[in-house]
Amino acid sequence: MIRRRGRAAASVLIAVVLAAGLAGCADDPLAAQYRSGDNKGYISGDFRVVEIPAADRAEPVDFHGTTETGAAVSSADYSGKVLVVNFWYAGCGPCRAEAKDLEKAYSELQGQKVAFLGINTADAPQSATAFADKYGVGYPSVMAADDGAVKLAFAERTPINATPTTLVLDGEGRVAARIIGQLPDASVLTALVRDTLGEL
């Protein structure tokens, strides 16, 4: 029941955000999709949100890598937690724009069974550290520019070249939700995370 309410709240929030952008777009196919109310499971546009029911989720993502500080991380470190994974790089304008919302969600979810991890797809560690300092990012990032194993681990789950992309992994490490494109607001992500937390 709580999970249904959380999904309903997330759907309403997404609809409100999109409605503002769709006003006056009578001939726009996206506007037609929104008005049809046929619950396709995602909404396309500047961003796209896909929620995946537990029964339809693929195998867990098994990854390992090294953060910008040289620390080793792996999927095993996050077992039993909801993990938010954000694909980004320093020269990406939408990545810079969404950094404050990701950090806001990260801060709001502190103390719960939630972790955040960036996947930097293009930069050297020094650039990633400078980005984190400038934009106040408090969680680590795996350096994937020269790490084919990290990219391969996620390649079947998301279009990793569609940067930014944010994934929500469930407690088993399976993709439970995907946001392709710039995160429009921290509350969209926190609603998706809370839905997934309700499954633990």
Per-residue pLDDT reduced to its tens digit, 111-160: 999 999 999 999 999 999 999 999 999 999 999 988 888 888 988 777 66
Domain boundaries, the chain: 46-197
State pTM to two decimals: 0.76
| Statement: residue 9 has pLDDT above 60 | no
Which pLDDT value is given to residue 156?
77
Which pLDDT value is given to residue 160?
65
Nearest to 87 by CA among 24, 164, 6: 164
Q: 3.40.50.2300, 3.40.190.10, 3.30.470.20, 3.40.30.10: which CATH number matches 46-197?
A: 3.40.30.10
| Statement: residue 176 has pLDDT above 80 | yes
Interatomic CA distance for residues 19 and 103, integer angstroms: 25
- Dihedrals phi, psi of 41, to nearest 5 degrees: 95, -5
Confidence of residue 46 (pLDDT cuts 50, 70, 90): low
Confidence of residue 184 (pLDDT cuts 50, 70, 90): confident
